[in-house]
Amino acid sequence: MKKTYLSLPELAFIAGTRAALGAGAALILGDRLDREQKKAAGWTLFLVGVATTVPILAIVIGRLRG
């Protein structure tokens, strides 16, 4: 098993993106907001979480290779 080390800011970035992804999914699936508000907020958070996963993967894979 390979090990990689992350700085505290990198770890916080990863946690933040996972939180955005989860919050977006919760808003999409929840029923506290009206339909249009829920869709807009949920999809925005979800897509931010997905989009920010790409740089995280690049950092981690780059460290595993090098």
pLDDT of res. 66: 65
Domain ranges of the chain: 9-65
pLDDT of res. 62: 83
pLDDT in tens, the chain (66 residues): 667 777 888 888 888 888 888 887 887 777 777 888 878 887 888 888 788 888 888 887 887 776
Q: Which residue in the block uniquely carries the two structure tokens 């460290």?
A: 63
- Our CA angle for 17, 19, 21, nearest 5°, is 70
Burial of 60 (0-12, 13-18, 19+ CB in 10 A): middle
pLDDT of res. 45: 80
